[in-house]
Amino acid sequence: MSKELLDIKDLVVEFPSRHGDVIAAKDVNLTVAAGEILGVVGESGAGKSTIGNAVVGLLERPGRVGGGEVFLEGEQIIGKSQAELRKIRGKRIGMIFQDPLTSLNPLETIASQLIGTIQTHLGLSDAEARERAISLLDQVGIPDPSERVDHYPHQFSGGMRQRVVIALALCAEPDVILADEPTTALDVSIQAQILDLLKKLVREKGVGMIIITHDMGVIAEVADRVAVMYRGVVVETGPTAKILGNPDHPYSRSLISAVPRPDVRLHRFPVVESIEAAGECKELDLNTHWLGKARDFGKSDGPLLKVDNLEMVFKSGGMFGGGKSEVRAVDNVSFDIRDGECFGIVGESGSGKSTIARLVTSIYKVAGGSINFAGTDLTKIKKRRELNVHRRQMQMIFQDPFSSVNSRMKVRDIIAEPIRFHKLTSSEAETRQIVDDLLDHVGLGAKAAVKFPHEFSGGQRQRISIARALATRPRFLICDEPTSALDVSIQAQILNLLKDLQEELGLTMMFISHDLPVIRQMCDRVGVMSKGKMVEIADTEELFKAPQHEYSKHLISLMPSYSGLMDRDDGQAEAS
Amino acid sequence: MSDISSEAPSFITRFRESDLWYNFKRSPGAMIAAFLTFIIVFGAVFANFVAPHNPFDLATVDLFDGLLPPAWEADGKASYLLGTDDQGRDVFSTILYGSRISLIVGFASVGFAAVLGITVGLISGYAGGMVDSFLMRVADVQLSFPAILIALLIDGIARGIMPREVHDELAVYVLVVAIGLSFWVQYARTVRSSVLVERNKEYVQAGQVIGLPDWIILVRHILPNVMGPVLVIATIQLALAVITEATLSFLGVGVPPTSPSLGTLIRIGNDYLFSGEWWITIFPGVALVVLVLSVNILGDWLRDALNPKLR
């Protein structure tokens, strides 16, 4: 490669706190050359964003650089004043942030934001700057740039906005671009376009780019070299193919093995090392234990859940609101779920998949159609008491582990609440025993019962959520994006737990996700949703091998391919 | 990452390790304010033991000791630290007993307003639709009148329908209702907006999936999660309520002079302000200012400490 544009040497970043200094990054060494994309990958808290912020002097207080050097084309930039750094930011180092919604000023047109930045750094005249703004928009692939330049940010879609942010980063022809999770807030189809664009720009303009992400798919797609970070330390750096195919460090190995494979279905995810300890999931004898009792729901002849012509409309505008508008969130959806299977629902954001989960659980009222659960039409039941008989049999696991448990209650009370409410035990002592057993069973340990949720990490909170769902002894479990807020290694643990529980308790599951590889690992059959409609229902393997509908084909073509992904030596792959 | 094996800490240990306590120990303003508030509240609660005289026990009051200046002035008596009023009552003791009435009215009216406001806010935010629109319009209408005017109105009605002796006896309760009814709106609005945020969170939906009835979800799950801002409002409104009570008493529509509050004391002393007996009104005034200022500073500190964005 050519000369090194950015050279980070032994960088240390520390955050002083009342519990002593927290070292967020320790002795980090990274280099980027012209025309090269360096991927920095790691899980949350690994310190990857901290490094980016330290380089451009944007560390959040009270963070500070505790040592090391950063050279931009041979010039030391650590220790420069904020005024000098301001000249470097934007002009020599361009930045792209995660959320295109908040990176643009909603009160100014694109033109004035671009022209302002161009004039600050290049000192062009108004006409020249406008000319340049239009050509930049053209370069990032915005149609009709001479017209669109006078529009406001809200007139652009999320993907288009991220293109504008990229144009903004390119304004002053920087030497280095720092992209912090540039596609995390975007849907897969838009993500692919943005990544293509970034790759093209780096090659054409010969800039160096650091792309910070938690997503192995993004890395596989664009990066030339990868640095793997773990708890503030770069554990391994190397060419992408090497890191993905044959990593040296044990952490890189576990991280990559935890990535759900899009190509082969595995029985279980390999056990991931170097992550938070989860206690052993204790075995329970289900023939004698409470949890195994009352599994005599009686086999229904037909499917357990049968949804016909389901409709849901969101109305906005109220009493004094005036103009009412309607959004058809679920549009004539029919499907059924057989006893004991795992049915997946996949689709992009806004496709109505979570709405279906809330209709089935009667959180929302249906606008039309029927929901038959074990032979009873739930939409016809008016009384809560009657509905609760069925509700007890279906439980739900939510997406956000931080808001799905009440942070003001002790873990014991959270899990005991459904047991006490439905009076599933005869005494308080029995309830406590069952809560302890449930906590043991999901790998948290009975001692977690007396703690509050904030003492647990995201993955552990998701285990609390699972234990609560099991506390009604359900036969049907709805998982609404249960792992999309979690790191990939934690995701592997949680998915393994869900698989075990399903097998052991004979649960029927509805598994909602936007993540195709996860769906492939978890589900027997899949329904594909787009804009409120279910466009295709097929067996998982069939869908992935030969999608029928145009939209399914499109979705599957966007999956990251991970060519040359590390082969797993544990031989757990099932012939599919 | 938490250590699963450790035992659960007690409430006191949790408080001592909390950010709130840490923050408190590092803000001198809050510590001074808390100290002063504590002194006044302590003196008011234990007035019977702390006060050198009982100004309302007529047997101990000597008219010949009337209008004595504070002890350090030439004519002052050592037993009357802050002087005496026209009837020979010890000013320091009346301040202690007066603060007691002021604080009782303050706490009770804030409690009354909070219960009413939180209930309305919870129902309004959770029910939505017509109920919400109706309750919030009522609140808007009430907000278009000054709080003191509503308090005056309620007090006036109470005076109109009750004979004088009964009213004097019930004056404190009338004040509590009057001030409470004029203060509930802020709680209702704050709680409602918090409920609007909380009710869309997944823990509420988890409760619905379990099948819990709405009132259990409201009381057990949503209520504890919206109490943070309520605590802040309550602190700041405590100061406001004490001032409102003082204002009403100063205007002569509050508690009667036989059991005076700080406001009544200021009013009584006001008549003597320009005839040289300044201590009768200044000392209760200072006590009121110190109390209100301390509580306000505590409220401001609490608001900042509970708002992670300002840290």
The confidence score (pLDDT) of residue B79 equals 77
Q: Which residues pair with B56 in a beta bridge?
A: none
- Higher per-residue confidence, A385 vs A302: A385
Mean pLDDT of A436-441: 89
Residue of A nearest to B211 (CA): A388
What's the CA gap between A517 and A262, in Å, rounded? 4
Chain A: give the shortest CA distance to residue B209, in Å: 6
What's the CA gap between A98 and A179, in Å, rounded? 8
The confidence score (pLDDT) of residue A564 equals 58
Q: List the 411-440 stretch of A: residues with Cβ below 8 A of B.
A: 417-418, 421-422
Identity of the amino acid at B2: S
CB contact under 8 A, A448 and B22: no
Count of residues for chain B? 311
* Token duo for residue A447: 């001692």
* Token duo for residue A129: 């700057």
The confidence score (pLDDT) of residue A575 equals 36
- H/E stretch holding A325: strand A325-337
What's the CA gap between A165 and A153, in Å, rounded? 10
- H/E stretch holding A519: helix A516-522
Q: Give φ, ψ of A16 to 5 degrees.
A: -70, 140
Mean pLDDT of A428-447: 88
The confidence score (pLDDT) of residue B150 equals 84
Chain A: give the shortest CA distance to residue B212, in Å: 7
What's the CA gap between A250 and A270, in Å, rounded? 13
Taking the CB of residue B258, how many other CB atoms lie within 10 A of it? 9
Three-class SS state of A329:
strand
Report yes or no: B186 and B237 within 8 Å, Cβ to Cβ: yes
* Residues of B whose CB is below 8 A from A407: 225
Which of A417, A448, A468 is opposite residue B4, by nearest beta carbon?
A448
Please, what is the average pLDDT of chain A?
A: 84
Residue of A nearest to B207 (CA): A418
* Residues of B whose CB is below 8 A from A384: 211, 213
What's the CA gap between B153 and B141, in Å, rounded? 15
Residue with tokens 């007691």: B100
Q: Is the pLDDT reported for residue A380 higher than 50?
A: yes
Q: Which residues pair with A396 in a beta bridge?
A: A478
Residue environment code for B196-232, b if the CB has 16+ CB neighbours within 10 A, otherwise e: bebbebbbbbbbbbbbbeeeebbebbbbebbbebbeb
CB contact under 8 A, A396 and B203: no
Identity of the amino acid at A264: V
Touching check for A489 and chain B: CB below 8 Å? no
**DSSP symbols for B260-273:** --HHHHHHHHHTTG
- pLDDT tier, A385 (very low <50, low <70, confident <90, very high otherwise): confident
Identity of the amino acid at B263: G
* Residues of A whose CB is below 8 A from B22: 18
Report yes or no: A378 and A371 within 8 Å, Cβ to Cβ: yes
Touching check for A395 and chain B: CB below 8 Å? yes
Q: Give φ, ψ of A562 to 5 degrees.
A: 45, 55
Chain A: give the shortest CA distance to residue B233, in Å: 20
- pLDDT tier, A279 (very low <50, low <70, confident <90, very high otherwise): low
Three-class SS state of B303:
helix
The confidence score (pLDDT) of residue A224 equals 93
* Residues of B whose CB is below 8 A from A458: none
Which of B6, B202, B210 is opposite residue A418, by nearest beta carbon?
B210
Give pLDDT tens digits for A213-268. 988 888 888 999 999 998 888 999 999 989 888 888 888 888 888 888 877 777 77
* Residues of A whose CB is below 8 A from B126: none
* Residues of B whose CB is below 8 A from A460: 2
The confidence score (pLDDT) of residue B154 equals 85
What's the CA gap between A483 and A464, in Å, rounded? 14
For chain A, give every residue range classified as CATH 3.40.50.300: 1-92+177-187+199-248, 290-314+330-557
Chain A: give the shortest CA distance to residue B142, in Å: 20
CATH class of the domain defined by A1-92+177-187+199-248: alpha beta
CATH class of the domain defined by A290-314+330-557: alpha beta
For residue A502, give the nearest of A512, A511, A515 by alpha carbon: A511
Which of A318, A398, A408 is opposite residue B205, by nearest beta carbon?
A398
Which of A391, A455, A457 is opposite residue B209, by nearest beta carbon?
A391
Mean pLDDT of A156-162: 85
Q: What is the pLDDT along chain B (311 residues), one digit of tens a residue?
A: 344 444 556 677 777 777 788 888 888 889 999 999 999 999 888 888 888 878 777 777 777 777 777 777 777 777 777 878 777 788 888 888 889 989 999 999 999 999 999 999 999 999 888 999 999 999 999 888 887 888 888 888 888 888 888 878 888 888 898 889 888 999 999 999 999 999 889 999 999 999 899 999 999 999 988 888 888 889 889 989 999 888 888 887 878 877 788 888 888 888 887 887 788 888 888 999 999 999 999 988 888 887 655 44
Question: What stretches of chain B adopt beta strand conformation (E)?
Answer: none
Task: Write down all domains in chain B, each with its CATH number in brackets.
Answer: 82-310 (1.10.3720.10)
Report yes or no: A533 and A333 within 8 Å, Cβ to Cβ: yes
Q: Considering chain A, what percentage of its residues have pLDDT values greater than 70?
A: 90
* Residues of B whose CB is below 8 A from A422: 210-211
The confidence score (pLDDT) of residue B5 equals 40
What's the CA gap between A22 and A28, in Å, rounded? 15
Residue environment code for B145-156, b if the CB has 16+ CB neighbours within 10 A, otherwise e: eebbebbbebbe
Q: Which of A230, A403, A442, A450 to mutate to test the interface with B (most CBs of B within 10 A)?
A: A403
Report yes or no: A493 and A444 within 8 Å, Cβ to Cβ: no
CB contact under 8 A, A406 and B225: yes
For residue B24, give the nearest of B286, B259, B239, B297 by alpha carbon: B297
Residue with tokens 């920095």: A40
What's the CA gap between A89 and A82, in Å, rounded? 10
ipTM over 0.85: no
Q: Which residues pair with A511 in a beta bridge?
A: A344, A479
Residue with tokens 């002393």: B269
What's the CA gap between A177 and B199, in Å, rounded? 41
What's the CA gap between A567 and A128, in Å, rounded? 54
- Higher per-residue confidence, B10 vs A157: A157
* Token duo for residue A251: 């952490």
For residue A110, give the nearest of A81, A144, A63, A85 by alpha carbon: A144
CB contact under 8 A, A398 and B211: no
Q: Is the pLDDT reported for residue A301 higher than 70?
A: no
CB contact under 8 A, B211 and A422: yes
8-state DSSP, A250: H
Which of A318, A395, A447 is opposite residue B209, by nearest beta carbon?
A395
Chain B: give the shortest CA distance to residue A305, in Å: 16
Q: List the 350-389 stretch of A: residues with Cβ below 8 A of B.
A: 358, 361-363, 384, 387-388
- Higher per-residue confidence, A514 vs A267: A514
Report yes or no: B228 and B198 within 8 Å, Cβ to Cβ: no
* Token duo for residue A276: 């938070």
Mean pLDDT of A40-63: 85
Report yes or no: A461 and A407 within 8 Å, Cβ to Cβ: no
CB contact under 8 A, A279 and B221: no
Residue of A nearest to B202 (CA): A404
CB contact under 8 A, B205 and A363: yes
Which of A319, A404, A448 is opposite residue B206, by nearest beta carbon?
A404
Identity of the amino acid at B32: I
CB contact under 8 A, B1 and A363: no
Give pLDDT tens digits for A69-84. 899 888 888 888 888 8
- Higher per-residue confidence, B125 vs A188: B125
CB contact under 8 A, A450 and B8: yes
- H/E stretch holding A372: strand A368-373
| CA dihedral sign, ordered A191, A196, A199, A200 | negative
* Token duo for residue A215: 């997503």
Q: Is the pLDDT reported for residue A285 higher than 50?
A: yes
Q: Which of B202, B220, B311 to mutate to test the interface with A (most CBs of A within 10 A)?
A: B202
